[in-house]
Structure 1
Amino acid sequence: MSHAVTTRTLGGVRIKLMRGAAPPGGGAPLLFLHGAGGASAWLPFMDRLAQRHDLWVPEHPGFGDSDTPPWLKRVEDLAYYYLDVLAELDLTGVHLVGHSLGGWTAAALAIKDCSRLASLTLIAAAGVHVHGVQRLDNFMGNPEQTLRGLIHDQRIADQLLALDVPPEERDRQLKNRFTTARLVWQPRSYDPYLPPWLHRIRVPAHVVWGEHDRLFPLRIGEEYQRFIPGARLSVLPGCGHLPPMEQPEPCAAAVLQFLASVEGRA
């Protein structure tokens, strides 16, 4: 499916924005917030979502080709930023979907204000800590070790590692890594003050998790489900921390099925 890539100033920040062509008859807006790896490419997972929804995929401030504002210091800053963006674009009835770092951002946003949201989907979201659950530290080790730790099916990891990565994309990856470190370094990838406020999320919520996620194990997804009223949990067998890349079709199908139920189409 065709999509457009533009550079826009939103919320006072110049960012890269990818947008899927709206399906015939429109399609409810879907805002996808990416993880720490950034949003440098349009993925088959995004293509699948854009078949049913008006898909917006912004590259976060501080990531990739987007500018880095001086105020960007916490995940909370990203949450407030996207609240401003939703207001600036005057988007309502939005299905908010976030992966990993983007899932944490989406949860923090929904805690603050659900008025423009129709639903919330968290895919392998950061932000919650469960005492005693061992986690992979993605700031330790070289890039190959990190990627292999994030993906369960090592054949897919082999394919990704075999790709030729141009120098400009390596620069983007390094920028993404620095920005992520600034946002999540301490405490590492969670906010101890987040869980007590998840009850404020008053829209239908869906938690999607890879069964073999080592970065944020499934127990963390179960904790999100426990704290968010009425949340649904979908577990993807044979999948690690990157469902949109490792299992794009099953992940997209789980998301779309939930959104169809929210819209009364299932």
Structure 2
Amino acid sequence: MSHLLLDRRIRTDGFERLEIDVNGTKTVVYTAGSGAPLVYFHGASTFHGFEFARNWTNSFRVYLPYHPGFGESPYSKEITSTTDYINHYNNLFEMLDLSTLNLAGCSLGGRLAAEFALTHPERLSSLTLICPAGLHCREYPMTELSNIAPENIPNYLVKDLNILTPYLPSEYDEDFVSKRNWENFTLESILDGGSFESPLINSKLSTLRTRTLIVWGDNDNLIPMQQAYRWQGKITNSQLKIIKNVGHLVLDESIEARDVIRDFLKS
């Protein structure tokens, strides 16, 4: 599949669309705002867009890249692991002339952000992890996505389903299903054995020294909130904010979460 068109329901007005060739892998990046650079890594599905990021554009130059194989960035046969993603993004940041930046990521994007911080700490002014995947936690494991029927997945993402209604088709939509299938295919191709757990994070997280904010929803049905305390305990220079009455997609559900991140970065 050469190109994944933007979901019709996602607003991009006010953002500049960049198409950047990174060693043969085309990557689409949306950017807006002014100030210190803030890069956001999305999770394992892009159907709900980046509307929350508008809150940050008054304070930062916001960059919203689509991972290759997700959203508008085509699938790349050259990227077969999260390590490949990290190398890809390091090259992309070079091309964008981002010598130092603030990096945030949610879920799968949180795993990628943590792995990037562990391998390229010199590039980061700060790290924000929003209910990140990647940590082994036997007592409070991540829900196995393959066990969830597609129609029930929204219940694992948000507490208030009305948050996602504008982004979901009211009836069968072949284009929507095709995009989700391609993103699932990409996800399976980059995860070792299908596991969200990261060998790098589980072996090296305690060495992370980047100033870090961890944000979690107290009603997260996908990655239990109890994991938040494990992350905080392993990252020396970290602080934790639990957001009340929201699920896994914290930024979509909570203005408070967006403001907490903004204030952390400005501090």
Structure-1-length-normalised TM-score:
0.87
Offset, 1:109? 0.6
Tell me, in whole angstroms, the C-alpha distance in 2 between the residues paired with 1:156 and 1:41: 12
C-alpha deviations, 1:98-142, integer Å up to 9, x for none? Answer: 111111001001101111210000001001021121432222233
- Identity across aligned pairs (percent)? 26
CA separation of 1:200 and 1:87: change in aligned 2, threshold 3 A = farther
CA-based RMSD: 2.2
Say how many residue pairs are matched.
255
Superposed, which structure 2 residues align to 1:78-117 within 5 Å? 78-117=85-124
Offset, 1:187? 5.3
Could you tell me which residue of structure 2 aligns to residue 38 of structure 1?
A: 46
Cα pair 2:105 2:130 within 8 Å, conserved: yes
My pick for the range that moved more, 96-105 or 126-135, is: 126-135
Cα pair 2:42 2:105 within 8 Å, conserved: yes
C-alpha deviations, 1:70-113, integer Å up to 9, x for none? Answer: 23222222112111212232202300001111110010011011
Cα pair 1:130 1:219 within 8 Å, conserved: no
Give, as a single letter, the amino acid of the residue that structure 1 aligns with 2:72.
Answer: D
Could you tell me which residue of structure 2 aligns to residue 18 of structure 1?
A: 30
CA separation of 1:235 and 1:175: change in aligned 2, threshold 3 A = same
Could you tell me which residue of structure 1 aligns to residue 58 of structure 2?
A: 51
Could you tell me which residue of structure 2 aligns to residue 186 of structure 1?
A: 193
C-alpha deviations, 1:8-33, integer Å up to 9, x for none? Answer: 2134310211111x33xxx0001111
- For structure 1, list consecutive stretches of 5 or more residues without a partner in the other structure: 262-266
Tell me, in whole angstroms, the C-alpha distance in 2 between the residues paired with 1:129 and 1:33: 21
C-alpha deviations, 1:130-188, integer Å up to 9, x for none? Answer: 11214322222332201112212244355654657854343222211111122236252
Structure-2-length-normalised TM-score:
0.87
Superposed, which structure 2 residues align to 1:1-266 within 5 Å? 2-20=14-32, 22-23=33-34, 27-38=35-46, 41-43=49-51, 45-157=52-164, 161=168, 167-184=174-191, 186=193, 188-247=195-254, 249-261=255-267
